[in-house]
Amino acid sequence: MAHIFPALEKINLSHWNHAAFRENDLQVDVMRLDQIHPVVSGNKWFKLKYYLERAKHEEKNRLMSFGGAYSNHLIALAEASRLYGLSSAAFIRGEEPDTLSHTLQEARAMGMELRFLSRADYEEKKKSAFFFSDVAPENSDLYIPEGGSGREGIQGAAEILSLIPTVSYAYICCAVGTGTTLAGLINSAGPEQKIIGVSVLKGTKGFEPMQAAWLSPSAVPDHIHMIHEDHFGGYAKTCRILFEFMNRIFSESGIPTDFVYTGKLFYSIVRLATENYFPAGSRILVLHSGGLQGNRSLAPGLLQF
């Protein structure tokens, strides 16, 4: 079985020189995981890595997972499966449309079988599928949780910070969906480093979108700060203010963001800096988790990149 990335020894850092950072004497670097692969980009490779290893060890022939019509996880899984010589299939949330999203068109072109389910059936299928995979290990299918979450996903995400020297950063920031990447960062961060997670989901205030069981015993709860108010209306919701912000950030820094995850993350970091959340002189690392393919679902002209 060939490896997509024989070694990830270096990740590019982009210095983000925003006015709010200069005014508050902050040094902010962006970890460009979006540049590691044209399709299996961002945190997706890390979250899939150990599922691919498990498939090899258990001699599985097909990888199956779940997601929506614009899922970064599914398109990454389709390409990773193809490159690893495995077949793939996905349960898609919602009825099959007359015209597939560009994400699903490309996933199908990569060989992924698409199975459309009503939202109710989708949730039920997730439960039954995982039960089946647990009780029938001889089956040739390996089911991967939605978004690449779970133990293997966290194990891979925990390796992200090993690719650059991070000891000098007081804050490490990421967007949060399932909480898999956040858990991996928490488990691998230094004892004095603070982790900021920006939830892209609506309605997460009052609970954290991750499981305590995912965290290592050494995790310091006081060093984890969740931001719940910068979701812009909920998952994949958009508005003019967000697009204008993303265009401005690209014009100033040359760093592209996506409207589901990183655009909201970047917005939140600027807001926190403006509100003097970070002490003067702080070094901050922002994780660019990829997902730029999702921008292709937008109407032409909304983004300038």
Please name the residues in contact with 86: beta carbons below 8 A apart, sequence gap of 6 or more.
55, 60, 61, 62, 63
Q: Is residue 21, in this structure, part of any structural domain at all?
A: yes
Same domain, 186 and 243: yes
> Is residue 100 located within the same domain as residue 205?
no
**Dist CA 51 CA 63 (whole Å):** 9
**% of the chain beyond a pLDDT of 90:** 81
Mean pLDDT of 162-191: 94
Residue 228's pLDDT is 95
Residue 275 has pLDDT above 50, yes or no: yes
Q: Is residue 76 part of a domain?
A: yes
Q: Which of 96, 124, 148 is the last residue of a domain?
A: 148
**Does residue 170 sit in the same domain as residue 275?**
yes
Whether residue 241 sits in one domain with residue 191:
yes
Q: How far apart are CA 263 and CA 271, in angstroms?
A: 12
How many domains would you assign to the chain? Answer: 2
For 55-93, how does the pLDDT look when each residue is reduced to its tens digit (9 = 90+)?
999 999 999 999 999 999 999 999 999 999 999 999 999
Residues 126 and 272 in one domain: no
For residues 35 and 158, membership in a common domain is answered with yes
Residues 219 and 115 in one domain: no
The residue out of 148, 177, 211 marking a domain boundary is 148
pLDDT 10s digits, 178-188 = 899 999 999 99
Q: Do the beta carbons of residue 141 and residue 59 sit within 8 Å?
A: no
Do the domain assignments include residue 6? no
**269 domain-assigned:** yes
Say if residue 190 is in the same domain as residue 288: yes
In a domain, 55, yes or no: yes
Residues 31 and 85 in one domain: no
pLDDT tens figures, 213-247 = 677 877 777 889 999 999 999 999 989 999 999 99
pLDDT attached to residue 215: 79
- The yes-or-no verdict on residue 194 having pLDDT over 80 is yes
Q: What is the pLDDT of residue 4?
A: 56
Average pLDDT, the chain: 91
Mark whether 35 and 55 lie in a shared domain.
Answer: no
Q: Which domain holds residue 235?
A: 13-39+151-297
Residue 38: partners with Cβ closer than 8 Å, 6 or more residues away: none
Q: Does one domain contain both 222 and 196? A: yes
- Please give the average per-residue pLDDT across 116-132, as a whole number: 83
Any idea what the Cα angle at residue 157 is, between residues 20 and 273, rounded to 5°?
Answer: 10
Alpha carbons 206 and 220: distance in angstroms, whole number: 19
In this structure, of 131-140, 144-153, 194-203, 239-248, the range with the lowest mean pLDDT score is 131-140
Number of other residues whose CB lies within 10 A of the CB of residue 17: 12
Instruction: Specify whether 270 is located in the same domain as 285.
Output: yes
Whether residue 4 is contained in a domain is answered as no
pLDDT level of residue 1 (50, 70, 90 thresholds): very low
**Residue 124 covered by a domain:** yes
205 found inside a domain: yes
What CATH number does residue 173 fall under? 3.40.50.1100
CA angle, 236 then 242 then 245, to 5°: 140
Whole-number Å distance between alpha carbons of 301 and 303: 5
pLDDT at 164 over 70: yes
Task: Output the pLDDT for position 213.
Answer: 65
Query: Which DSSP symbol is given to 295?
Result: G
Q: Which of 148, 179, 196 is the last residue of a domain?
A: 148
The reported pLDDT for the residue numbered 128 is 79
pTM to 2 decimals?
0.92
